[in-house]
Amino acid sequence: MKKIIHTLLLLCTLFSLPAQADIMLLVHGYLGDADSWEVSGVNDELQRRGWARAGMFRGSPAGPVLFITDYGNAKNLVYVATLPSTRPVAVQADVLKDIIDIIRARHPEEKIILVGHSAGGLVARMALIRHRLQNIRALVTIAAPHVGTSRADQALSITANHGPFNMVKSFVGGSDYTALKRSRALMYDLRYPRPGNLLYWLNVQPHPDIQYASVIRIRPNGIPGDYYVPGFSQDMNNVPALRGRSSVTYTPTGHFLVRQDADTIVDIINHFQ
């Protein structure tokens, strides 16, 4: 009888504890910024699902600057950040690490869920490995090129220096061509794994024991993948160090963020719980 009473008291104590709060950090993709999550409607939908806006990080010469949002008594919070998206993956991962340090200082008791779209998913994974991040609960990636993309090789070919014709290409290509030109180092990072490149190294490194989830786009014909990243590359289970460790969710939309991604993210997190 005493054992039963003790068990009941223990259960009452556990159920009376406050629910574990979580912090979500949204990481945009190539040529995106913190506003990518606003324009797409993802943040509005997250707010509706109980995840309140907490703040936005912007870059500065002194490092990331946080603009705080009044989130009242909300427990589950969302931060967004702007990274130098044309820079190499390691450079972006270093900036992301500084941002995570600030979040950890503000919320030392909570764990962080990283959500990365496109190249941002790769940047988030690089930060996990490069900086051995602590207090990370999960990594959710959306249409991320974990095993590379042929679009990177195409971008490198387009922006290669072809002598006197390079000036013509710059004039005809306009701002898009200029952005690609500035992104050549990043495009090398996004190539399919081969000895000596970033993905060849990164994909065999030990990964932390956290939750992993891959959101994979599906074309209208039912084939996994989208115009920019093939389906197999969006699946973290095809990373040698993560085989069998990532859940998979398929979403019938294109590469870019859509409002419904918020529902997918929240459903994945609830499944973790």
Closest CA to 183 of 161, 155, 162, 202: 155
pLDDT for 197: 98
Tokens coding 39? 């324009």
Cα distance between residue 267 and residue 37, in whole Å: 17
Q: Where in the chain is the domain with CATH 3.40.50.1820?
A: 20-149+195-272
Which pLDDT tens digit goes with each residue over 151-180?
Answer: 999 999 999 876 554 544 444 445 788 899
Q: Which CATH architecture is the domain 20-149+195-272 placed in?
A: 3-Layer(aba) Sandwich (3.40)
pLDDT in tens, 25-75: 999 999 999 999 999 999 999 999 999 999 999 988 789 999 999 999 999
User: Who contacts 35 (Cβ-Cβ below 8 Å, separation ≥6)?
Assistant: none
Q: For residue 163, what pLDDT is reported?
A: 54
For the stretch 176-229, pLDDT in tens is 888 999 999 999 999 999 999 999 999 999 999 999 999 999 999 999 999 999
* Tokens coding 273: 């719980």
Q: Identify which of 113, 112, 121, 62 has the alpha carbon closest to the alpha carbon of residue 93.
A: 121
Q: pTM here? A: 0.89
- pLDDT at residue 235, as a whole number: 98
